[in-house]
Amino acid sequence: MTNDLVKRLRGWASSIATHEYDGEAAPDLSGLGQVLTDVVRQREQVRQDELRKKPKLFN
């Protein structure tokens, strides 16, 4: 993961961990879905890059 994605995920984790629930308020998770989508896309890109680097036995 890139440093930017790691920082963003840590920020949300910290927000959740330090949030005091009073029955009404909840931690701000806006944008978390986009960060997770970015993480999945990046992991898939890395996987595809690694597959391209492997020698092909049957060409």
pLDDT tens digits for range 30-57: 777 887 888 888 889 988 998 888 777 7
From the CB of residue 51, how many other CB atoms can be counted at a distance below 10 Å?
A: 9
Residue with tokens 């879905």: 33
CB 27 within 8 A of CB 14: no
Mean pLDDT of the chain: 76
pLDDT at 28: 66
Q: Which two tokens stand for residue 42?
A: 């990046």
Q: What distance in Å separates the CA atoms of residue 44 and residue 22, rounded to the nearest whole number? A: 39
Tally the residues of the chain.
Answer: 59
Question: Which of the two residues, 59 and 5, has the higher pLDDT score?
Answer: 5
Give residues with Cβ within 8 angstroms of 46, minimum separation 6. Answer: none
Q: What is the mean pLDDT of residues 17-37?
A: 68
